[in-house]
Chain A
């Protein structure tokens, strides 16, 4: 999404920061503090997000293990990453922090497990 306005998320004030182009250089307006300005610059140029979802576990004590990217990934790659993770299955046991997908979509970020999943107890009915 190419927007000229973003809402700053750094504090509850929620400044609306605007990007204006003037003769090839960018100017920013509406920020309430310096941190906000820096944040907005990144948000305009390359917004990134941590992605969290779940991956199916075979023979686990629970059916799904929660996962996340260990680094933020470009916002526009989120749905693609989700669909990759939907098709994946891992085998229990899963350790917390273990890598599920390395360097997903060449973003440099690994998808890691955020919970430990033990093997299904065979005595469990």
Chain B
């Protein structure tokens, strides 16, 4: 296989996909290279899903710039892509005078960064608006323009919209060698494929330092920093209405408690530097730390409602700021690396910035056929009964409920497969089948039936998330 592109993006996380989608606004042949079988397989599937207001980053940094810019355009992008985004606001809560001083600093920093609407609220306001929070809270910084989204669904939406607009995404392509051939980079995969491209963009997340080195570009270091989370079952009444942060420390923004856009409660993450870049294990110490600190804010928090635990790995650079630049030595090689928090918020702004930069560089014309709109899969759980009846008339499979916890229909699963889902996890992220309280106990075999039928493969070939993640090892009969 050999393909020639104007621009190739390594890594199909939210940053890579945002850049890819923005690139399709221009008349450029673009692709993304992803080592896994789906988008959002790294940090983009395992983070807090917060759209930050922008009071945290030090003014003048790239983090500050892209956070605030990202926050400003986030709603528009989600609107175009039919992705849930709820501007529920956030609170940073302070327990003593020292922490109140920190709130004041954050408020001033936020103002300098151009964040609107920040206010420090007293105890009374906090308890009136968040009655379940600890009575030991003295004050809180209120940021009305903070919000929540679904990070992997945003990534999927960006992916689908990129495909709609002509981009290629090549899965299972683990970059192992980068060469220069005239004006082109030749990018080789571990399974002996290669592509050629004029511009190469490195969005490889925790592995971005290795890719940069492979390209002969600037040397930097990415430290994997793990964060562990609890997901709680959908409560009858949300314990908090906003994202609740604690005062940040040098370790980051600390442990938060928030509703998710899907109606669960998310608690986490802690912060721990780890040795291996893919050690996504959860640990007792990590989860205990999360629970204890979250309980400080929300004393009624109970482990009884936990439906799952997980961890994500942040790509923390040794530069203390996002690395977003064309390499000084290797022309047309662009690092977009070290995008830790507020990376999700920044993603949409980074995408625009990079696409403009590249288009300018390549003198690319506008793609007049660019369609910014992408429609989400119609979801049984979100429609009225009348709409459901209409849909079932059109598609009878819309009336076949496959995942009973989240009320996901067969139609939605088939639709996710048509849009590129090949693994169980990729279906789960797109449809929520298996994300509910029974964690796939009921629907996993049914989803496998559908996957096997639609992709015309035997069930022994179905994986959880690619490579060797097989569910069934052997079929007991011959057809």
Measured CB to CB, the residues of A under 8 A from B are: 56, 63-64, 86, 89, 125
- Which residue on chain A has the smallest CB distance to residue B477? A56
Residues of B within 8 A of A63 (CB): 477
CA distance A108 to B476 in the complex (A): 27
Cβ-Cβ contact count across A and B, 8 Å cutoff: 7
- Which residue on chain B has the smallest CB distance to residue A63? B477
Closest 4 pairs between A and B when the two form their complex, measured CB to CB:
A56-B477, A63-B477, A56-B476, A86-B476
7 sampled A-B residue pairs with Cβ under 8 A: A56-B476, A56-B477, A63-B477, A64-B476, A86-B476, A89-B477, A125-B453
Residues of B within 8 A of A56 (CB): 476-477
Please encode chain B, from 453 to 479, with 1 for each CB lying within 8 Å of some chain A CB and 0 for all others.
100000000000000000000001100
Residues of B within 8 A of A89 (CB): 477
CA distance A63 to B477 in the complex (A): 9
CA distance A64 to B476 in the complex (A): 10
CA distance A63 to B476 in the complex (A): 10
- Which residue on chain B has the smallest CB distance to residue A125? B453
- Which residue on chain B has the smallest CB distance to residue A54? B476
CA distance A46 to B476 in the complex (A): 32
Q: How far is the CB of B319 from chain A (nearest CB, A)?
A: 56
Residues of A within 8 A of B477 (CB): 56, 63, 89
Residues of A within 8 A of B453 (CB): 125
CA distance A89 to B478 in the complex (A): 10
Residues of B within 8 A of A64 (CB): 476
- Which residue on chain A has the smallest CB distance to residue B453? A125
Residues of A within 8 A of B476 (CB): 56, 64, 86
Q: How far is the CB of B361 from chain A (nearest CB, A)?
A: 52
Q: How far is the CB of B449 from chain A (nearest CB, A)?
A: 11
Q: How far is the CB of A82 from chain B (nearest CB, A)?
A: 12
CA distance A121 to B349 in the complex (A): 55
Residues of B within 8 A of A125 (CB): 453
Q: How far is the CB of A63 from chain B (nearest CB, A)?
A: 7
Q: How far is the CB of B411 from chain A (nearest CB, A)?
A: 14
CA distance A89 to B477 in the complex (A): 9
CA distance A56 to B476 in the complex (A): 8
Q: How far is the CB of B392 from chain A (nearest CB, A)?
A: 17
CA distance A63 to B475 in the complex (A): 11
Q: How far is the CB of A125 from chain B (nearest CB, A)?
A: 8
CA distance A39 to B334 in the complex (A): 78
- Which residue on chain A has the smallest CB distance to residue B475? A63
CA distance A125 to B452 in the complex (A): 13
Q: How far is the CB of A54 from chain B (nearest CB, A)?
A: 8
CA distance A85 to B276 in the complex (A): 47
CA distance A125 to B456 in the complex (A): 13
- Which residue on chain B has the smallest CB distance to residue A57? B477
Q: How far is the CB of B399 from chain A (nearest CB, A)?
A: 15
